[in-house]
Structure 1
């Protein structure tokens, strides 16, 4: 699926949800007097959707990939901090909330990894490099692939029909 705006990308929305959940969790009094841990997890969480947005807006596939990996790294940082927090007794009452944060960050990492893999396998250089000629070429390629898929489907149906007819004789 092609997205026109980063706000439409599901993993960006998940990143925003993660950020909001982190900011809400760090309002708990247990975070007070514990050094910079609240600020660190907040910055890591906020970095996830911000890096997705920045990479998306850059307009080239290599830059998008670079920022997706930054976002993936930030999601990993959130997970790591969650592991640390879970081991501190003062945060015991937040166990469920911290577990949910870690799960959401893990889901985001998987989504970003899948998106990055699909971009690495693509020959599209990004919207900044798209000309009317290359756009027409990509559209034609898509039509050709759809035609071949339909042709294959029809051929398979015809083979099944021929086998059924032979079985009846």
Structure 2
């Protein structure tokens, strides 16, 4: 499996994947944002958003580690589901006033980009066959 783009470096580890790096950055930012949530949300929205955000890079890593193309694709699809879950929690957080409009909009743009990256990786894996 190779990266698209001019460098075309060989992917040796999940940590080489831009989609994993971006999803890790997103998870860190979700932890930071949810620190400002009220204490009574600790076991509700805070927990849900953190769990969904960490599930995205974790599933990318786990799928890559299985070393089978079809299984990796399955885990990437689980990561996509976690991204949609996080998006839903973000919309709800905005609607109930836990996030402001700018925070929610900024996250929405990141979710869109990350979603496109996941879809692109799945399509590339489906198209190219062979070893991961």
Q: Give the TM-score taking structure 1 as reference length.
A: 0.68
Q: Give the TM-score taking structure 2 as reference length.
A: 0.86
Aligned residues: 123
Partner of 2:66: 58
Q: Are the equivalent residues in 2 in contact too, given 1:44–1:77 (CA < 8 A)? A: yes
Partner of 1:44: 52
1:17-166 to structure 2, matched below 5 A, reads: 17-28=25-36, 30-34=37-41, 36-89=44-97, 91=98, 94-126=100-132
Q: Which runs of 4+ in 1 moved over 4 A?
A: none
CA root-mean-square deviation: 1.5
Mapped partners of 1:53, 1:59: distance in 2: 10
Mapped partners of 2:131, 2:17: distance in 1: 19
Structure 1 residue runs of 5 or longer lacking an equivalent are 127-169
Q: Are the equivalent residues in 2 in contact too, given 1:82–1:99 (CA < 8 A)? A: no
Q: Are the equivalent residues in 2 in contact too, given 1:22–1:101 (CA < 8 A)? A: no
The structure with the largest helix share of the pair is 1
54-63 vs 100-109, greater mean Cα deviation: 100-109
Structure 2 residue runs of 5 or longer lacking an equivalent are 3-9
